[in-house]
């Protein structure tokens, strides 16, 4: 059965919904009521008559309407029974939030869950997970208060996480950075739906342009490989694999109870499947952001435009270290810029617009580089601190980036003022980096993804 | 002559002080008046009678009092003449902010400046720099408005930067992050005072515990080596060298006009001089923060304490990749923790306090690790998002860190809520990291600095 009901249910039952604000079931039920979810939500709890004025059922089977999605948040030992009821009710999709199974040694209980799933042919995410966040439909099974965990805006990056805590941290961090998301799924112990199933679904999902995953292990190697290979032909698939050292692998086994393969095997399998491997969480999203909104480059020749010499030098170093090239402008471009700029702006690469640069000077430079056939990608360093630069620079760069002719990324570091302007750029689809090394690594990945070697 | 007058002048003349708010000389003069500087400030400008109600002199020689520090911000071609006057006035220290010398090919003009310096035996920082920021004395020659460029609080990390723009960006970024500073110097073309002189001064400076530098080139190799070797025996000296690739070196020569050595030569010279080399700006400050407030570890055995499995696994991977070890607790510690914790907390490394951890559980765990002779350093992962964790955790961790028995660092990622709590920790002297890889690299550097291999 399709996974569609996890993301677009019309009816949702929250089993374990509670009037006690400290209970997870309370927060989840409330999220559905108070968030942007447009469907119907039913609380299920044998010990309550109504919650928030909505009639409570003792059992999911007592609900008269069909149920698309059931979210289970009851103590582990009650899960098999409750799941049985979901089966009888012919629930289309079930998310089991509850923990306390294989990950703490309760193998017997997890086996019981597996048998029930088979018997009723259910589709289940979890247990031991935080479930789904979908900014389009408003499905939000996260039991963390919004002041502690912000939610990102609608976008086109999907994120799959085996670890719930890690996933929630990432979501919170994305929201702060202004990175946007299409679907988010924490799948925990994966008794039924696993990373491969989710990847398959997302590869066909029209809101998703880039698929990211944090994996500790892979459930079924062959299935994963087959699906990933197919998915990566449609969309970029970027994976961060944890448990790559011997010690890390041991740590994994006691976390999600899954088997982590050795580093070497994983990396070569990933490569063969067309998966792009990220070294860290930060890099995962660095890559995702450039893949989601930048065109593929024709080559690896990069023009650096800057208003500060030091950052130009650092960026040059990292471009070379990442086996990319400094572009050499055509004579035509050089002449054009020489005419347009004051004498103290020396026309070369890095092109230092100097400390008295304004938005107009950046515009002239970027436009010339967009036209120049010797330039494949543009790295724009903006030190917002210089006195002549106003917030207008944000409009200029985002308008030029919207043409999508060549990849344009921005490098900018600083304090609060800089962060605000960077978020505006990010919001309008310009990937921003604080550090030259990250920018160069992302451009390298984009170049490789575009077919370069 | 000592460099003391650059940092602790009693009298300051701002040559080129202006009534026009758009002029650099205006901002600098105003910074002295409105900032925390306690000494006397004199404006010098032949075209103004008074600025902000303070009588303006046409020439520094017209000021009756002795002048400790002159800050020059006049067009390049006027600098030699003005400097001549500073010499005649017997000014103790001069900062030349003005650019337009060797860096744009005006070698003759720079030579003229050099001759004047020799003739009068002056001590000069610059030209082509943004000068000095000293949070202790209030000297602040930065011509950037405070809303665009925040200033960090008093601390014990000194930063020397050849590049003014890069230096100012770093300062802005430090302020936002809550990193503190002792002295900051952008020295530009270094016609007199160079990186080695500054290093020597800072090695004896009682407010400075760690010396950081961004270098593009070194002026006199032998002098630098000699001084750095001496300085690094007193305090950690951390350097980020730009222009390490062939292309980067070329970019340097047209930036500050200095000669950048090859990567290999630089790195081995640094090593012999006892300098710790950082790979990036971020790493420079990651190292500086742990060196400034953490004790040297006895060994490389690290205990990870976490409330989320995924981050525990990632941290394990990076600890191993950085050639550190996972500590093995003594039986005694294990028994103690087993008694103290609920059954679902499995006693191992990483120690996962799980998603229902509270501040008390962290306290018990960290205290036990501080006592355990099998543990040299503690990496505390705090995912602030979990429901049971209150802001109290900040007090608990900072109080335990204050004992300075073993290095304790924190890894925490997330959004605004997390960032606020991290800044509190950072303020109380606990180095915080967003990403496991950075934390592991910093612990590795601390271990090496402590004598480990």
Of A316, A415, A419, the CB nearest to B251: A316
Q: Is residue A435 part of a domain?
A: yes
Q: Are A250 and B320 in contact (CB under 8 A)?
A: no
* Whole-angstrom distance, CA of residue A261 vs CA of residue A222: 13
Q: Which of B165, B239, B346 is the best mutation test for A, with the most CBs of A within 10 A?
A: B165
Q: Which residue of A has its CA nearest to B387?
A: A144
pLDDT, one tens digit per residue, over A358-398 is 999 999 999 999 999 999 999 999 999 888 889 999 999 99
The angle that helices A164-177 and B416-427 make with each other, rounded to 10 degrees, is 90
Distance from CA of A120 to the nearest CA of B (A): 31
Query: Is the CB of B22 inside 8 Å of chain A's CB atoms?
Result: yes
Q: What is the pLDDT of residue B157?
A: 97
Q: Are B95 and B124 in contact (CB under 8 A)?
A: yes
Q: Any residues with CB less than 8 A from the CB of A232 and at least 6 apart, and which?
A: A273, A274, A275
Buried-exposed string A110-135: b where 16+ CB fall within 10 A, e elsewhere: bebbbebbeebebbbbbbbbbbbbbb
- What residues of chain A lie within 8 A of the CB of B312, using their CB? 251, 255
In the predicted model, is pLDDT for residue A255 greater than 70? no
Q: What is the CB neighbour count within 10 angstroms for residue B221?
A: 15
Looking at per-residue confidence, does A406 or A355 come out higher?
Answer: A406
CA A303, chain centre distance (Å): 28
Buried-exposed string B137-158: b where 16+ CB fall within 10 A, e elsewhere: bebbbbbbebebbbbbeebbbb
Q: What is the pLDDT of residue B7?
A: 98
% of chain B at pLDDT higher than 90: 76
> With an 8 Å Cβ cutoff, are A147 and B316 in contact?
no
Q: What is the pLDDT of residue A2?
A: 86
> With an 8 Å Cβ cutoff, are B246 and A320 in contact?
yes
Across the range B51-73, mean pLDDT stands at 96
Q: What is the pLDDT of residue A323?
A: 96
* Whole-angstrom distance, CA of residue A60 vs CA of residue A70: 8
Average pLDDT value for chain A: 93
Peptide bond into A160 cis (omega under 30): no
Distance from CA of A291 to the nearest CA of B (A): 22
* Whole-angstrom distance, CA of residue A410 vs CA of residue A431: 6
DSSP readout, A258-294?
PPPPPHHHHHHHHHHTTPEEPSSHHHHHHHHHHHHHS
Domain final position from A293, A325, A352: A293
Q: Is residue A307 part of a domain?
A: yes
Across the range A44-62, mean pLDDT stands at 95
Q: Is residue A402 part of a domain?
A: yes
Query: Is the CB of B307 inside 8 Å of chain A's CB atoms?
Result: yes
Distance from CA of B388 to the nearest CA of A (A): 9
pLDDT, one tens digit per residue, over B151-204 is 899 999 999 998 888 888 889 989 888 889 999 999 999 999 999 999 999 999
Distance from CA of B135 to the nearest CA of A (A): 17
In the predicted model, is pLDDT for residue A252 greater than 80? no
Q: What is the pLDDT of residue B348?
A: 94
* Whole-angstrom distance, CA of residue A99 vs CA of residue A114: 15
* Whole-angstrom distance, CA of residue B83 vs CA of residue B122: 9
- Of the candidates A204, A251, A255, the one whose C-alpha atom is nearest the C-alpha of residue A230 is A204
Q: What is the pLDDT of residue A253?
A: 67
**At B349, phi and psi to the nearest 5?**
-130, 115
The helix (H) or strand (E) run that includes residue B400 is helix B392-402
DSSP readout, B310-359?
HHHHHHHHHHHHTT-EE----HHHHHHHHHHS-TTS--SSSEE--TT--H
Q: What is the pLDDT of residue A220?
A: 85
% of chain A at pLDDT higher than 70: 97
Indicate the pLDDT class of residue A208, thresholds 50, 70 and 90: very high
In the predicted model, is pLDDT for residue A254 greater than 70? no
Domain final position from A247, A267, A293: A293
- Of the candidates A149, A127, A106, A247, the one whose C-alpha atom is nearest the C-alpha of residue A193 is A127
Q: Which of A105, A127, A163, A313 is the best mutation test for B, with the most CBs of B within 10 A?
A: A313
CA B4, chain centre distance (Å): 19
Does residue A57 share a domain with residue A104? yes
pLDDT, one tens digit per residue, over B321-363 is 999 999 999 999 999 999 999 988 999 999 999 988 999 999 9
Q: What is the pLDDT of residue B254?
A: 62
pLDDT, one tens digit per residue, over B238-253 is 999 988 888 887 877 6
Q: Which residue has 């990319």 as its token pair? A: A324
Of A175, A348, A418, the CB nearest to B254: A348
Q: Any residues with CB less than 8 A from the CB of B54 and at least 6 apart, and which?
A: B33, B41, B42, B43
Q: What is the pLDDT of residue B264?
A: 63
Query: Is the CB of B390 inside 8 Å of chain A's CB atoms?
Result: no
* Whole-angstrom distance, CA of residue A339 vs CA of residue A334: 9
Does residue B437 share a domain with residue B301? yes
Q: Is residue B135 part of a domain?
A: no
Pairing of strands B54-55, B50-51: antiparallel
Query: Is the CB of A75 inside 8 Å of chain B's CB atoms?
Result: no
Of B165, B175, B282, the CB nearest to A383: B165
Does residue A171 share a domain with residue A101? no
> With an 8 Å Cβ cutoff, are A165 and B307 in contact?
yes
Of A162, A173, A386, the CB nearest to B415: A173
Across the range B118-147, mean pLDDT stands at 92
Across the range B428-438, mean pLDDT stands at 94
* Whole-angstrom distance, CA of residue B170 vs CA of residue B172: 5
Does residue B331 share a domain with residue B261? no
Query: Is the CB of A326 inside 8 Å of chain B's CB atoms?
Result: yes
Pairing of strands A54-55, A50-51: antiparallel
What's the order of all strands across the beta sheet hosting B40-44?
A: B40-44, B11-15, B69-72, B93-96, B124-125
Q: Any residues with CB less than 8 A from the CB of A280 and at least 6 apart, and which?
A: A240, B314, B435, B436, B437
Half-sphere exposure of B140 (CA within 13 A, CB side): 28
DSSP readout, A328-348?
---HHHHHHHHHHS-TTS--S
Interface of B with A in 187-246 (CB under 8 A): 214, 216, 242-246
Peptide bond into B127 cis (omega under 30): yes
Query: Is the CB of B142 inside 8 Å of chain A's CB atoms?
Result: no
Of B173, B246, B248, the CB nearest to A413: B173
Q: Which residue of A has its CA nearest to B215?
A: A310
Q: Which residue of A has its CA nearest to B282?
A: A435
> With an 8 Å Cβ cutoff, are B242 and A169 in contact?
no
Query: Is the CB of B419 inside 8 Å of chain A's CB atoms?
Result: yes
Q: Which residue has 């949070």 as its token pair? A: B135
* Whole-angstrom distance, CA of residue A215 vs CA of residue A159: 11
Looking at per-residue confidence, does A86 or B308 come out higher?
Answer: A86
Half-sphere exposure of A265 (CA within 13 A, CB side): 12
Q: What is the pLDDT of residue A78?
A: 97
Distance from CA of B169 to the nearest CA of A (A): 5
Half-sphere exposure of A445 (CA within 13 A, CB side): 27
Distance from CA of A150 to the nearest CA of B (A): 7
Q: What is the pLDDT of residue A14?
A: 98
**At B363, phi and psi to the nearest 5?**
-60, -50
Strand, helix or coil at A167?
A: helix
Q: Which residue of A has its CA nearest to B315?
A: A248
In the predicted model, is pLDDT for residue A103 greater than 70? yes
Does residue B257 share a domain with residue B112? no
- DSSP summary character for residue A186: E
Of A313, A344, A415, the CB nearest to B175: A415
Does residue A241 share a domain with residue A215? yes
Of A60-69, A244-253, B113-122, B411-420, the least confident:
A244-253
Does residue A439 share a domain with residue A306? yes
Environment class of A347 (CB within 10 Å of its CB; exposed 0-12, middle 13-18, buried 19+): middle
Distance from CA of A90 to the nearest CA of B (A): 32
- Of the candidates A334, A328, A286, the one whose C-alpha atom is nearest the C-alpha of residue A436 is A286
Pairing of strands B301-306, B377-381: parallel
- What residues of chain A lie within 8 A of the CB of B169, using their CB? 308, 311, 383, 385, 413-414, 418
Q: What is the pLDDT of residue B248?
A: 82
> With an 8 Å Cβ cutoff, are B168 and A383 in contact?
yes
> With an 8 Å Cβ cutoff, are B255 and A309 in contact?
yes
Taken in order A321, B412, A129, A147, the sign of the CA dihedral is negative
Q: What is the pLDDT of residue B387?
A: 80
CATH number at residue A104: 3.40.50.720
Q: Domains in chain B: how many in total?
A: 3
Q: What is the pLDDT of residue A5?
A: 97
Of B316, B352, B416, the CB nearest to A248: B316
Query: Both tokens of residue A89?
Result: 């009710």
Q: What is the pLDDT of residue B258?
A: 54
Distance from CA of B117 to the nearest CA of A (A): 26
Q: Which residue of A has its CA nearest to B348?
A: A251
* Whole-angstrom distance, CA of residue B58 vs CA of residue B43: 9
Domain final position from B293, B318, B344: B293
Q: What is the CB neighbour count within 10 angstroms for residue A147?
A: 9
Across the range A396-419, mean pLDDT stands at 94
Does residue B300 share a domain with residue B439? yes
Strand, helix or coil at B17?
A: coil
Distance from CA of A1 to the nearest CA of B (A): 30
Q: Which residue of B has its CA nearest to A351?
A: B251
**At B223, phi and psi to the nearest 5?**
-60, -45
> With an 8 Å Cβ cutoff, are A144 and B313 in contact?
no
Indicate the pLDDT class of residue A257, thresholds 50, 70 and 90: low
In the predicted model, is pLDDT for residue A89 greater than 90? yes
Q: Is residue B133 part of a domain?
A: no
Q: Which of A175, A257, A284, A317 is the best mutation test for B, with the most CBs of B within 10 A?
A: A317
Q: What is the pLDDT of residue A105?
A: 85
- What residues of chain A lie within 8 A of the CB of B281, using their CB? 314, 413, 435
Across the range B286-297, mean pLDDT stands at 95
- What residues of chain A lie within 8 A of the CB of B414, using their CB? 149, 169, 172-173, 176
**At A361, phi and psi to the nearest 5?**
-65, -40
> With an 8 Å Cβ cutoff, are B104 and A344 in contact?
yes
Q: Is residue A138 part of a domain?
A: no
* Whole-angstrom distance, CA of residue A74 vs CA of residue A82: 9
Average pLDDT value for chain B: 93
pLDDT, one tens digit per residue, over B356-366 is 899 999 999 99
Q: What is the CB neighbour count within 10 angstroms for residue B272?
A: 11
Q: Is residue A205 part of a domain?
A: yes
Does residue A80 share a domain with residue A156? no
Strand, helix or coil at B380?
A: strand
* Whole-angstrom distance, CA of residue A27 vs CA of residue A453: 49
Distance from CA of A251 to the nearest CA of B (A): 6
Peptide bond into A219 cis (omega under 30): no
* Whole-angstrom distance, CA of residue B140 vs CA of residue B32: 7
Q: Is residue A186 part of a domain?
A: yes
Q: Any residues with CB less than 8 A from the CB of A77 and at least 6 apart, and which?
A: A100, A109
Across the range A146-162, mean pLDDT stands at 89
Structural domain range at position B389: 295-449
The angle that helices A246-253 and B309-321 make with each other, rounded to 10 degrees, is 170
- What residues of chain A lie within 8 A of the CB of B162, using their CB? 310
Interface of A with B in 29-68 (CB under 8 A): none
Indicate the pLDDT class of residue B386, thresholds 50, 70 and 90: confident
Does residue B51 share a domain with residue B148? no
CATH number at residue A234: 3.40.50.261
pLDDT, one tens digit per residue, over A23-34 is 889 999 998 998
Query: Is the CB of B435 inside 8 Å of chain A's CB atoms?
Result: yes
Does residue A47 share a domain with residue A116? yes
Does residue A250 share a domain with residue A333? no
What was the ipTM of the complex prediction? 0.87
> With an 8 Å Cβ cutoff, are A147 and B417 in contact?
yes
In the predicted model, is pLDDT for residue A107 greater than 90? yes
**At A10, phi and psi to the nearest 5?**
-95, -30
Q: Are B181 and B174 in contact (CB under 8 A)?
A: yes
* Whole-angstrom distance, CA of residue A292 vs CA of residue A288: 6
pLDDT, one tens digit per residue, over A264-296 is 677 888 999 999 999 999 999 999 999 999 999
């Amino acid at each position: 059965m399709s996974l569609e009901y996890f993301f677009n249910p019309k009816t949702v039952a929250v089993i374990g919904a509670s009037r006690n604000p400290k209970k997870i079931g309370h927060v989840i039920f409330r999220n559905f009521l108070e968030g942007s979810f447009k469907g119907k939500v039913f609380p299920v709890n044998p010990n309550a008559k109504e919650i928030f004025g909505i009639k409570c059922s003792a059992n999911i089977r007592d609900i008269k309407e069909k149920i698309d999605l059931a979210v289970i948040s009851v103590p582990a030992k009650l899960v098999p029974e409750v799941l049985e009821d979901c089966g009888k009710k012919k629930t289309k999709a079930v998310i089991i939030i509850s923990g306390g199974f294989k990950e703490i040694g309760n193998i017997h209980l997890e086996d019981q869950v597996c048998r029930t799933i088979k018997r009723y042919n259910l589709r289940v995410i979890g247990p031991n997970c935080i479930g789904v966040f979908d900014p389009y439909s408003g499905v939000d099974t996260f039991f963390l208060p919004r002041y502690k965990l912000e939610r990102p805006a609608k976008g086109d990056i999907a994120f799959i996480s085996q670890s719930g805590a890690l996933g929630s941290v990432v979501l919170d961090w994305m929201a702060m950075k202004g990175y946007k998301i299409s679907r988010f799924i924490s799948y925990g112990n994966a008794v039924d739906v696993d990373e491969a199933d989710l990847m398959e679904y997302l590869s066909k999902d029209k809101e998703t342009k880039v698929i990211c995953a944090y994996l500790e292990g892979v459930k079924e190697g062959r299935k994963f490989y087959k699906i990933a290979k197919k998915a990566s032909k449609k969309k970029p698939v970027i994976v961060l694999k944890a448990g790559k050292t011997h010690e890390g692998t041991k740590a994994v086994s006691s976390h999600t109870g899954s088997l982590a393969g050795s580093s070497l095997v994983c990396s070569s399998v990933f490569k063969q499947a067309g998966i792009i491997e990220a070294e860290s969480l930060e890099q995962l999203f660095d890559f995702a952001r450039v893949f989601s909104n930048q065109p593929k480059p024709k080559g690896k020749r990069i023009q650096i435009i800057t208003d500060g010499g030091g950052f130009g030098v650092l960026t040059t170093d990292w471009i070379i270290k990442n086996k990319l090239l400094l572009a050499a402008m055509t004579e035509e471009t050089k002449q054009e810029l020489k005419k347009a700029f004051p004498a103290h702006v020396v026309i070369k690469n890095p092109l230092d617009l100097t400390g008295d640069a304004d938005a107009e000077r950046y515009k002239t430079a970027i436009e010339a580089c967009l036209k120049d056939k010797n330039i494949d990608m543009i790295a724009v360093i903006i030190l917002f601190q210089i006195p002549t630069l106003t917030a207008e620079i944000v409009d200029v760069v985002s308008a030029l980036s919207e043409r999508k002719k060549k990849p344009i990324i921005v490098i900018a570091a600083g304090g609060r003022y800089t962060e605000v302007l960077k978020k505006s750029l990010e919001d309008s689809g310009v990937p921003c980096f604080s550090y030259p090394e990250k920018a160069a690594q992302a451009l390298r990945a984009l170049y490789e993804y575009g077919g370069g070697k």
